[in-house]
Amino acid sequence: MTDQKENTANAVSNTEKVWFISGSSRGFGRIWTEAALQRGDKVAATARKLESIADLKGKYGENVLTLRMDVTQPDQVQSAVKAAHDHFGRLDVVFNNAGYSLVGMIEEASADDIRALYETNVLGPVSVIQAALPILRKQGKGHIVGTSSGVGHLAYPVIGYYCSSKWAFEAIHESLAAEVKQFGIDVTIIEPGAYATEFGSQDSIKFAQSIDWYNDFKGQFVEGLRKMEQGDPKATPEAIFEVVDAEQPPLRLFLGSHNLPEIREAYAQRLKTWEEWEAVSNAAQG
């Protein structure tokens, strides 16, 4: 009888989606969490500091479940995913959004800097995926969505390790998409360009120890980033909704107007180089 009451209390209409979102406290994570709640969906919102998302309960009541979760702690991830599923009865959208940037030249960053970045940006999302997949597979449906970046396709100086973490993120999600399609599970990689979020705040960015030789170069690069036109993050939720509501969602979606021209140029240059060296490549076939 108790189980029946719980199932009734936790029942969710088929017209509503149940989201599990990592990194709900700020930036895109906060915006997309609130947008989903405002349209009437249910959200399991997670953050490393529970107090940073405590206000969501007062605003959205029973539609939101707030959970403490550090993606670098696999046990916390397993517990949070289970709690979300137990509470709402299903998971429709599992959104890997937690992450941060490391500023530092390739020579500057320590092994500890790089390891910590990958613990959050690469291994953290893997923990979420591995915790959610048994649930989604049993459901026979679900959508895993991950926040990458335009730098998941090309690498800049100064943030090379951050770029590399997004290249790894992209590869993992692309492989995942092929592996889980047989179970009715979709995968989409969201690739924002430059946006006016808190991503540049001290909570979202870390700095490697500086080497003086690079100060001028690094300063010019950072100044260039500051001058870039930034998109309005509040304009993005409708694009996210179109993806999660689509019958056949795309594997990748750019957010903003700057990524495609830049990446089109980069890939054209890559093709040009490969073609110029094609004879050498072919000769190496043996």
The residues carrying an active-site annotation are: 148, 162, 166
Cα 84 to Cα 21, 24, 77, 93, 135: the distances in Å are: 10, 14, 11, 12, 11
> Could you give the CA distance from residue 190 to residue 170 in angstroms, rounded to a whole number?
10
Burial 146-177 (b: 16+ CB within 10 A, else e): bbbbbbbbbeeebbbbbbbbbbbbbebbeebb
> Could you give the CA distance from residue 223 to residue 218 in angstroms, rounded to a whole number?
8
Of 7, 12, 67, the closest CA to residue 42 belongs to 12
Q: Which residues contact 97 (CB under 8 A, 6 or more apart)?
A: 21, 22, 23, 24, 28, 29, 32, 146, 147
End-to-end CA distance of the chain: 71
Q: Using CB atoms within 10 A of its CB, is residue 197 exposed (0-12), middle (13-18) or buried (19+)?
A: buried
- Please answer whether residues 232 and 255 qualify as being in contact, where contact means their C-beta atoms are separated by less than 8 angstroms: no
Question: DSSP 3-state assignment of 145?
Answer: strand
Of 99, 103, 120, the closest CA to residue 221 belongs to 103
Of 194, 193, 163, 180, the closest CA to residue 251 belongs to 180
121: left (phi over 0), alpha (psi -120 to 50) or beta: alpha
